[in-house]
Amino acid sequence: MIKKIIMNNIASFKNKAVLSSEKKVNLIYGLNGTGKSTISNFLYDTNKGENLEKYNECKIESNGEDHSILVYNQKFIDEKFRKVDILDGVYLFTLDKGNGDALNEIKRLVNENEKLEELIVEAKEKKGKSETEFKDKSSEQIDKIWKIKQQFESNKFLGYCLIGYKGSREIMFNHLLSITVPKEEPKENIDELEKELSLVSGENTEKLQLLPKLDPTLFSIELRDIFKKQIVGNVNSSVSELINSLNNSDWVKQGLTFLADEIHQTTECPFCQEKTITEQIHNSIKNYFDTAFENDLNLLNEIKQEYNNTINSIPDFSEFDSHLIFEKQKTNISLLIQELKIILNENFRIINDKIKTPSVPMTLQSSASKVIEFNYLITSLNQEIQQYNSNLDNANVIKERIKSSFWMLMRWKYDPEINNYVKAFNEKNYIVSKSDNLILQYKTKISTIKTDIVTLQKSTVNIDVAIHNINNGLLDLGIDEFKIVKHEEYTYKISRSFDNEGVFSSLSEGEKMIISFLYFLEICKGKVNIEEVEKKKIIVIDDPISSLSHIFIFNIAQLIKKEFFTIDKDEKKDVHKKQYIQIFILTHSLYFFHELVKNMPKDSILIKLQKDTYGSNISILKKGDLQNDYQAFWAVIKNKNQHFALQANCMRQIVEYFFGFVQKKDLKELFENASLNGNKYEAFRRYMQRESHSDAINMSGYKEIDPEIFKEALKSLFEHNGYKEHYSIMMDENFES
């Protein structure tokens, strides 16, 4: 069954229009040009697989049940009748002797075939349901994993890891799905990866210089014997005994600094402030501090300078404070330098004291452990600096490794989501595979059944029954000038008693319409291919009443209602009716439409096609809206800005509806008796009675048409038949009796 017919960007359907219905009987009404033929041609071509490129934006949505679409429209008539006079035979079942058993077997096989078709539908529905559920579940997991993009895309460094995978949810998900989950949680964390990546991805990444280590001779200086040595003067000096007994050589040495290098007269003593220093005393004191003393003192000063240089060589880490390499050792370095400088500064003070008081033995603190610890730390940092510099040389390799580690972390983190997806995927695949296997089994059985049915059908069907039905239909309609005869074994031919060649082309438009429609009805009942296995049928009938008089329109409507509207209660008697699952009937004729609406089945819907400046559109039509269309015809006529072709068409609709449907008048007699004689109204008379599908042709033939004459003729038609008041009311004119 067709659920939706979607028309878009084809003919008058400039924009998308949807005919949505799951009713069995669909009655569709619309004026000419609103898209009826476009819809029927779409269904006709789609069923035959032709001209599909024209309808690339149109679509049919069905419930999946196997069916065929039989379309009666102008294309059908052209294909079956206009091009050739020979018709394909229609095979119908005949209840001859001996066919009873075959019929029962065919019924059994058809029933079995239908059950298998139903099982296929069930399997497809189960498969479709599983695929839909999987789509929902997978979408949920994919959305969760998409949060990776939302979390890291704006990250200055880790955003690099998303390159190539952030184009869509599916791309990112499939990448994560392709990664094998690690056996244990990765040791690196996101913060570590970000820091590592920042070292090779920063805007100002430059290589670092190696850091200097402390000279290990530093702590060997601290062990020099000179610090423990009592540095005193010459023991042979005349003052040595006195200085040594007083143990004040350091004091005396300092005092010499206050005396001149040469004493010529008595000089004031720097200690007692009396003029007691003679040249002899001065020389004796100087001789006490001999060359050995001075050498020791000079050595102390050299050691002091060397020690001071070592202190000053300790690296300044302030320029590296912001670099990640030093960040993790920043506290250790700071504390170690602080402790080392305390020792070194204290030792430096002791060395100064030793120089001031060289006779006093002193001991320096050992900085050995701190120097060794410091140098070990520097060695470790230098190794990291070397690795960092090497990483800069191989930045792309490092970045890709970090990227791989990042996704390994994500794979570990989102393993539950991946597992949920894989579980749903496997469940879906199991059901799909099982359903596909069942469908294949059912189709194999159906193929065997169809072969058996075809074999049985060959002995139970013939084309003679259809000949009988079509000819009886013609006689019932009062047509006996031509009939259908058997041409060859499997074909028909239209025959007149006096001529058997080219008969169809000699028929009137109305006769062509009738015989083509009767032939179509037989196709609906049977088949044109003896090997065709019966399947569900969707019937589409597009305006089968053009150029027919009202009596014929009435009869065609009765044929349709008998064949397609009384399906349920006739299914046991006419088995073929069971195959009709949906009927679409399209018409421009209100009279014909009203005839169909009478006694229409409960499972029916009325649909309206109409056209505006934006193109054709489709809507539901209520019974109460039908009169509104009649009023709309008059509104078109009253509107002076409407194109005359549309006004003329509405005039014909008014005449057809009011006189044909409401007043039950025969239109042919109506115009014969009307006061519309003369050439003045010839165009109007002919137009009102011409085939609706050839409006443009008819109009183009009347070069001297005057729209006002058409309106004048319409008014005269109403007045002549006693409906002057009705005309005046509909045209908003003042009525004068």
* pLDDT band, very low/low/confident/very high, at 95 (cuts 50, 70, 90): very low
479 and 602 within one domain: yes
pLDDT at 240: 46
657 and 614 within one domain: no
Across 422-455, b (16+ Cβ under 10 Å) vs e yields eebeeebeebbeebeebbeebeeebeebbebbee
CB 106 within 8 A of CB 460: yes
CB 446 within 8 A of CB 117: yes
CB 195 within 8 A of CB 324: yes
Residue 355 within a domain? no
The sign of the torsion formed by the CA atoms of 501, 506, 511, 512 equals: positive
Residue 305 within a domain? no
| pLDDT above 60 for 277 | no
Half-sphere exposure of 574 (CA within 13 A, CB side): 17
Q: Helical H runs in 202-290?
A: 217-221, 240-246, 249-256, 279-288
The sign of the torsion formed by the CA atoms of 291, 297, 301, 307 equals: positive
SS (H, E, C) 17-41: EEEECCCCEEEEEECCCCCHHHHHH
Going across the sheet that includes 86-88, the strands are 86-88, 491-496, 482-488
Host domain of residue 436: 114-208+395-459
CA dist 328 and 317 (Å) reads 13
Considering only CA atoms, which of 631, 581, 587, 630 is closest in space to residue 606?
587
Total residue length of the chain:
737
pLDDT at 238: 42
* pLDDT band, very low/low/confident/very high, at 7 (cuts 50, 70, 90): very high
DSSP-derived pairing of the beta strands 482-488 and 491-496:
antiparallel
Last residue of a domain, one of 224, 259, 289: 289
563 and 477 within one domain: yes
CB 654 within 8 A of CB 630: yes
DSSP-derived pairing of the beta strands 604-612 and 25-30:
parallel
pLDDT at 694: 42
CA of 727: how far to CAs of 480, 671, 684, in Å? 41, 17, 17
**Amino acid identity, residue 314?**
I
The most distant pair of C-alpha atoms in the chain lies apart, rounded to whole Å, by 180
* pLDDT band, very low/low/confident/very high, at 412 (cuts 50, 70, 90): very high
**Neighbouring C-beta atoms of residue 686, cutoff 10 Å:** 13
pLDDT at 432: 93
* Structure tokens given for 149: 């993009």
CA dist 85 and 462 (Å) reads 20
Residue 716 within a domain? yes
Tens of pLDDT, residue by residue over 291-322, are: 667 788 888 899 889 888 878 877 766 655 66
**Amino acid identity, residue 549?**
S
Considering only CA atoms, which of 371, 374, 378 is closest in space to residue 220?
371
Residue 371 within a domain? no
**Amino acid identity, residue 370?**
K
CA dist 627 and 597 (Å) reads 14
CA dist 58 and 38 (Å) reads 11
Residue 368 within a domain? no
491 and 582 within one domain: yes
454 and 475 within one domain: no
CA dist 502 and 516 (Å) reads 15
**Neighbouring C-beta atoms of residue 538, cutoff 10 Å:** 22
Residue 29 phi, psi dihedral angles, 5° rounding = -115, 140
Tens of pLDDT, residue by residue over 343-402, are: 989 999 999 988 888 878 889 988 888 888 888 888 888 888 887 787 777 777 888 888
| pLDDT above 90 for 436 | yes
Residue 312 within a domain? no
469 and 449 within one domain: no
* Structure tokens given for 420: 């949920």
Range in 39-48, 66-75, 143-152, 571-580 the model is least confident about = 571-580
Residue 616 phi, psi dihedral angles, 5° rounding = -75, 145
Any idea what the Cα angle at residue 109 is, between residues 103 and 110, rounded to 5°? 85
Last residue of a domain, one of 459, 487, 513: 459
Task: Decide which of 558 and 144 is more confident.
Answer: 144
Task: Decide which of 199 and 25 is more confident.
Answer: 25
The sign of the torsion formed by the CA atoms of 677, 678, 680, 683 equals: positive
How many domains does the chain contain in total?
A: 4
CA of 66: how far to CAs of 521, 537, 563, in Å? 21, 9, 22
617 and 481 within one domain: yes
518 and 506 within one domain: yes
268 and 165 within one domain: no
Residue 475 belongs to a domain with what CATH number? 3.40.50.300
Give the pLDDT mean for 43-61.
Answer: 88
Task: Output helix, strand, coil percentages for the chain, rounded to the nearest 5.
Answer: 60, 10, 30
pLDDT at 430: 93
Task: Decide which of 656 and 242 is more confident.
Answer: 656
CA dist 666 and 557 (Å) reads 16
* pLDDT band, very low/low/confident/very high, at 693 (cuts 50, 70, 90): very low
Task: Decide which of 263 and 170 is more confident.
Answer: 170
Considering only CA atoms, which of 258, 253, 233, 260 is closest in space to residue 244?
233
The sign of the torsion formed by the CA atoms of 615, 616, 621, 627 equals: positive
Q: Cα Rg for the chain, rounded, in angstroms?
A: 56
* pLDDT band, very low/low/confident/very high, at 461 (cuts 50, 70, 90): low
CB 211 within 8 A of CB 380: no
80 and 34 within one domain: yes
| pLDDT above 80 for 111 | yes
CB 34 within 8 A of CB 616: yes
Residue 382 within a domain? no
Considering only CA atoms, which of 78, 93, 207 is closest in space to residue 453?
93
When the pLDDT of each residue in the chain is averaged and rounded to a whole number, the result is: 78
192 and 121 within one domain: yes
Residue 228 within a domain? no
Range in 384-388, 547-551, 568-572 the model is least confident about = 568-572
| pLDDT above 80 for 406 | yes
* pLDDT band, very low/low/confident/very high, at 701 (cuts 50, 70, 90): very low
pLDDT at 306: 86
CB 341 within 8 A of CB 311: yes
* pLDDT band, very low/low/confident/very high, at 118 (cuts 50, 70, 90): confident
SS (H, E, C) 335-399: HHHHHHHHHHHHHHHHHHHHHHCCCCCCCCCCCHHHHHHHHHHHHHHHHHHHHHHHHHHCHHHHH
SS3 540: strand
Residue that is written with structure tokens 């690690």 in the block: 182
% of the chain at pLDDT higher than 70: 74
Last residue of a domain, one of 415, 437, 459: 459
655 and 611 within one domain: no
pLDDT at 255: 58
Provide the whole-model pTM: 0.49
CA dist 363 and 351 (Å) reads 9
Report the C-alpha dihedral over residues 167, 169, 175, 177, rounded to 10 degrees: 180
* pLDDT band, very low/low/confident/very high, at 144 (cuts 50, 70, 90): very high
The sign of the torsion formed by the CA atoms of 699, 11, 655, 595 equals: positive
